[in-house]
């Protein structure tokens, strides 16, 4: 971005961008649910037995929280790669 030509900086920036994208998606989930849209990975939702309708209805059961935790954990893994 500032003329830096370093493969390690590029790698770190890539992981930071992925983490930021995941967090942005999570933060926007309540808003999108008001529009009846869910942009979370369905494979993780199905793993925990959660449907899109569970998010749209605003359920806060353990399995819904587990989906959010698993997705947030992916962002955390990307940050750990940066460090």
pLDDT in tens, 47-67: 999 999 999 999 999 999 999
CA distances from 1 to 47, 49, 51, 79, 81 (A): 38, 42, 40, 19, 20
What mean pLDDT, rounded, does the chain reach?
93
Contacts of 53 (CB under 8 A, 6+ apart): none
Is 68 within the bounds of a domain? yes
For position 1, what pLDDT does the model report? Answer: 61
Is 41 within the bounds of a domain? yes
CB 77 within 8 A of CB 22: no
* Domain with 70 in it: 7-81
Identify which has the larger pLDDT, 21 or 83.
Answer: 21
Sign of the dihedral through C-alpha 72, 73, 79, 81: negative
Is 60 within the bounds of a domain? yes
Is 20 within the bounds of a domain? yes
Q: What is the pTM of this model?
A: 0.84
36-46 mean pLDDT: 96
Is 31 within the bounds of a domain? yes
CA distances from 14 to 32, 40, 59, 81, 82 (A): 26, 20, 33, 10, 9
Counted domains in the chain: 1
């Amino acid at each position: 971005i500032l003329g830096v030509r370093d493969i390690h900086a590029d790698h770190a920036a890539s992981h930071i961008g992925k983490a930021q994208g995941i967090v942005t998606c999570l933060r926007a989930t309540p808003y999108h649910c008001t529009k009846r849209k869910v942009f979370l990975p369905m494979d993780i939702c199905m793993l925990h037995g959660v449907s899109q309708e569970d998010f749209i209805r605003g359920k806060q059961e353990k399995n819904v929280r587990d989906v959010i935790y698993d997705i947030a954990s992916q962002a955390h893994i990307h940050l750990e790669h940066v460090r």
